[in-house]
Amino acid sequence: MTWLGRIAGIGRRGGCVRLLALIFVSLYAASSAAQAIELRCIEASRYKHLYRIFGDQNRMAAFFGVNASQLPNPETCRAALLIEGVEKMKREGGDDFDMLLNMVRSSNGWLSTLYLGSPGGNVRTGLFLGQTTRLFWLTTTTVEGTTFDYVPDFFAVPGRPMTEADVPSDLLPGWRAYVAAMGPTSRVDIAREGGKPRRCVSACTFIHAAGVERSGRAFFHRARRSAPTDPNEPQEPRSISEMADGLMETEARIVAYYRRMDTGESAVSAYLSTATQRTLAAYLLPMPRYLEDHFRGTCRPARRARAGAETIMSVGVPDGAMRLSNAENPVNDPKTTAPIEPSAPIAQSGPRDAQVTRCIVAAHTRERLAQYAKLCGNGCSRQDIGQDILRRINALVPSSEPNSQREPRRPAAQPNPQPQRSAPPPSYPPQGAPPRNYPPQAGPPPASYPPQQYPGAPPPPYQQSGNPQRGNPQGAPPPAYVPPGQQPSYR
């Protein structure tokens, strides 16, 4: 098992070696050192509070399109906040990957949304967290500033604040009771030490990119080689050229990851165009395009009445909308480049928005439970899920694998293979007759008959086996060549 395989809890034929430069390269926010993430439940998202909106469990089950027996424990969280830095994975486990996996496991598939305010950190761990997010079909929302108000995702409409008009009329009394009971609990404090704001930067964007629905903007920059976090860890000296090659390998994998998650080109452009000392804000597509196509068909009656919302879901960030703007930067960072806000507002609101949200949320819920049953039917095994994630990461850039790590390529099967015909065996001369020419062999004729002087000359007879009766004793040199027409006769 390789060193990286032991870190990931995986030991399958050295596949971990193929992460290449990711072993050495980490992403860090411009002003933050990496440390373990903090992942905590948002209190207002516990199902014991959300049940209040629906009045009884049967109505909630009908809203999500599931059986009442599938509903979660009242203490289960529907949303979690992910902040602090992304740390390097550990051999013994108990790392950021385990932390997210345990949160998913404790929810039995009912964790729905991650709120992201991490400054980033290790590339490899960020990719593992992102792949875990997509595997378990989570949605993501980035946060900026020092506080935000939690709104249940099944009522929230992307692009604007929620109002009571977004709540179905039959659930409005329950919603008002929920708001009155939660009060200030629905406001989540995310300020850093000293009251400093948070945002989703760097490797945090890998998690945001993996959401099956995404809202909020994230901040990008290219990768850079990080300083060692463990002074006892051996560090191999690397030249500038080796560092540059490693970073290019990492860049190829990260860009492939963004495209695989279908973030839209705004994320790719922001990553490629931003130096490591700066950050560039960009919006991602609200959901992957093929999911959008699917819901455009399955939720079509409601979407026909939601043309304004479809416009912004298809726009993301307008072309050419990125510019340097410190005034628009929520953390007032002079090194940050921020985009212009999307110019197309959502024009439609009211009950029809709630119908669209209900359709999409119900579909996500059923898919999320199905994914959980498939991946955690026998327990959420770190090793099994880690192997699946590692395979997906390795598949992002297969051409970067070392030749020694590649599987041997099998020859393509022939539809109707033809039997191969072998050359007929040579016919040997009868006893007492001179030998005939054998089938031609590759390479020039023997050196004693230079082809440039005697084209087509046969090989010397009896060169290896002597025959004293014919004037060629054992070990004697071959006879000199006699031109055609003057061959001696053997009697």
Tell me the pLDDT tens digit for each residue of 460-478: 554 444 555 555 555 555 5
The two most distant CA atoms of the chain are separated, in Å, by 125
In this prediction, residue 20 carries a pLDDT of: 40
Q: How confident is the model at residue 306 (pLDDT cuts 50, 70, 90)?
A: very low
Q: Average pLDDT in the 292-301 region?
A: 84
- Pair 340, 322: CB distance under 8 Å: yes
Q: Average pLDDT in the 444-466 region?
A: 52
Q: What is the pLDDT of residues 78-127, one digit of tens each?
A: 999 999 999 888 877 788 999 999 999 999 999 999 999 999 999 999 99
Domain assignment present for residue 482? The answer is no
Q: Decide the pairing of beta strands 217-220 and 279-283.
A: antiparallel
Bridge partners, 283 (sequence order): 217
As given in the structure block, the two tokens for residue 491 are 């009697």
In this prediction, residue 356 carries a pLDDT of: 80
Mean pLDDT (the chain) is 74
Q: Average pLDDT in the 372-385 region?
A: 90
Q: What is the pLDDT of residues 207-248, one digit of tens each?
A: 999 999 999 999 999 988 765 555 566 666 678 898 888 899
Domain assignment present for residue 69? The answer is yes
Whether residue 441 is predicted with pLDDT greater than 80 in this model: the reply is no
Half-sphere exposure of 71 (CA within 13 A, CB side): 21
Domain assignment present for residue 334? The answer is yes
Bridge partners, 116 (sequence order): 82, 142
Q: Average pLDDT in the 256-271 region?
A: 95
Domain that includes residue 292, residue range: 3-228+239-405
Q: How confident is the model at residue 39 (pLDDT cuts 50, 70, 90)?
A: very high
Domain assignment present for residue 470? The answer is no
- Pair 340, 321: CB distance under 8 Å: yes
Domain assignment present for residue 467? The answer is no
Global pTM reads: 0.69
Domain assignment present for residue 330? The answer is yes
**pLDDT higher for 407 or 373?**
373
Q: Average pLDDT in the 276-281 region?
A: 91
Q: Compute CA distances 256 → 199, 200, 290, whole Å.
A: 24, 20, 17
In this prediction, residue 301 carries a pLDDT of: 55
Indicate the number of domains in the chain. 1
In this prediction, residue 166 carries a pLDDT of: 85
Tell me how crowded residue 472 is: count the other CB atoms within 10 A of its CB: 18
Least confident of 156-170, 183-197, 308-322, 413-427: 308-322
Domain assignment present for residue 375? The answer is yes
CA 35 to chain centre: 22
Q: What is the pLDDT of residues 48-86, one digit of tens each?
A: 999 999 998 899 999 999 999 999 999 999 999 999 999
Domain assignment present for residue 489? The answer is no
Q: How confident is the model at residue 294 (pLDDT cuts 50, 70, 90)?
A: very high
Whether residue 348 is predicted with pLDDT greater than 80 in this model: the reply is no
